[in-house]
Structure 1
Amino acid sequence: MTTTATIAVARDAMPANASYVLPGDFAPDTDIERLARRFGKDNVRIGEVPGAEGERVDGVILFPDDASRRAYLYFEDAQRNTGLSLVRVFDDGSRWRLDNGIGIGTPLSDILRRNGKPIRFFGLDWDYGGAITNWNGGRLDPKHDPVRRGMTLGARADIGERPYPMGDAEFSSDDAKYPDLGTDLVVDEISVSFPGEDDL
């Protein structure tokens, strides 16, 4: 397994006030050297990143010591860190945004306004909980874009005893059983996933 190590490559860090947008210039051929040039060598760390169902896998952490800029990168070849396949962001207060303007903490009501139609999503509180499964042909529908923009919904911490959709089932954002979904649910993870290097 790869040990945690900071990459020693020439430094050319992004300014502190830079915009952090996904997918931005990330692409399947993004490698460690390019990451170090863009973000600064001290902000690119090889190590373990969160996997499915509590697993840890080899990958790269951007800004590992700064939750407002931290991102997790996953590669097709995890041993050589080549073939970027996925970028995930899920820290509260993150400055990263998808290029459609959605970021951590964006309320479901804003997503629905941008989409123009109801959405469907998995119930919360399991490994794939909150994943949006269907945009119903709205403006945020990925259609034929090979670069997929993902977001996961979670419940705000301050909703008290109000119920929200839970479990391994699909729900609709206009479900009359949950009249406060628009404000009770917010984005708690954003991601972009890429096809293979030869597919673009």
Structure 2
Amino acid sequence: MRQMPFALAALIAAAEAAVAQAPAPQPQILDCADFSRKTEEAYFVKRFGRENVVTAKLDGAEGETIPGTVVYPKDPSRRLEITWSDAKRRKGLTGITVRGQSEWLVRTPGKARETLRLRDSLEAVQEANERPFQISGFGWDYGGYATGWKGGRLDAMPAGCGLSVRFNPDPTVRGKAADRASGEKDFSSADPAMRAAKPFVSSLTLGWPE
């Protein structure tokens, strides 16, 4: 059997070593401080490239669709959904949403500079808030939203920004345990009935009120 030339073997070994030592990709983080109410679609085009920013219809409340912008429409792990006060000209930023399979992190305020991400537990969000917060019961159009941070750390997002978090109950939780965490009413995140539903984060939105 013919042996591989030494020079070729050395080149392959060097390439394998370089791959092994390559740093892991840095997580993508959304920070309120990078945006404002005056942010326009042109900012996202400059930051992410024209080919990665498209106009699209986005899912709204109660089955409606709303015009907006999508960043990385072909890459679920990097997808962002953007809404505007002036949707026609795509100006006046009102929201940036992370949902589905997106792996974006959202930076939280304070010295720790921690982050939240999709699939974080209810307990993890309460810890980030540094106190219990309000969450609406599941099973209706506005179910599962955090409805008030009660003066916690997540009430103090920078740059005029607010954080909206929606939770889904664990699909394995059924019957009475699911029923006790459902309905058009608010629960404390520390409520045993809500904890028993094992909620996890299903969407994160940075918002700028109109």
Identity %: 28
- Normalising by structure 2, we get a TM-score of 0.76
Partner SS, residue 140 of structure 1: helix
Query: What's 2:190 paired with?
Result: 174
- Of stretches 145-154 and 185-194 in structure 1, the one that deviates more from structure 2 is 145-154
Q: Distance in 2 between matches of 1:68 and 1:33?
A: 22
CA, structure 1 residues 143+104, in 2 after alignment: closer, same or farther (shift >3 Å)?
closer
Q: Distance in 2 between matches of 1:110 and 1:130?
A: 15
Moved over 4 A (4+): none
Structure 1 residue ranges without an equivalent (≥5): 1-15
The answer as to 2:148 corresponding to 1:134 is: yes
Q: Distance in 1 between matches of 2:55 and 2:195?
A: 44
Please identify the structure whose Cα radius of gyration is greater: 2
Shift of 1:64: 0.8
Q: Distance in 2 between matches of 1:145 and 1:156?
A: 33
Provide the aligned C-alpha RMSD in A. Answer: 2.2
Query: What's 1:150 paired with?
Result: 164
CA, structure 1 residues 124+142, in 2 after alignment: closer, same or farther (shift >3 Å)?
farther
Structure 2 residue ranges without an equivalent (≥5): 1-24, 109-114
Q: Distance in 1 between matches of 2:58 and 2:164?
A: 18
Shift of 1:33: 2.2
- Normalising by structure 1, we get a TM-score of 0.79
Query: What's 1:192 paired with?
Result: 206
CA, structure 1 residues 179+75, in 2 after alignment: closer, same or farther (shift >3 Å)?
closer
Alignment of 1:1-200 (within 5 A): 17=26, 19-23=28-32, 25-92=34-101, 94-100=102-108, 101-142=115-156, 146-159=160-173, 161=175, 162-163=177-178, 165-181=181-197, 184-196=198-210
Higher helix share: 2
1:46 counterpart letter in structure 2: T
Query: What's 1:4 paired with?
Result: none
Query: What's 1:12 paired with?
Result: none
Aligned residues: 178
1:29-49 deviation digits (Å, cap 9, x = unpaired): 222322111011111001211
Shift of 1:98: 1.5
| 1:46/1:60 contact within 8 Å kept | yes
Shift of 1:117: 1.7
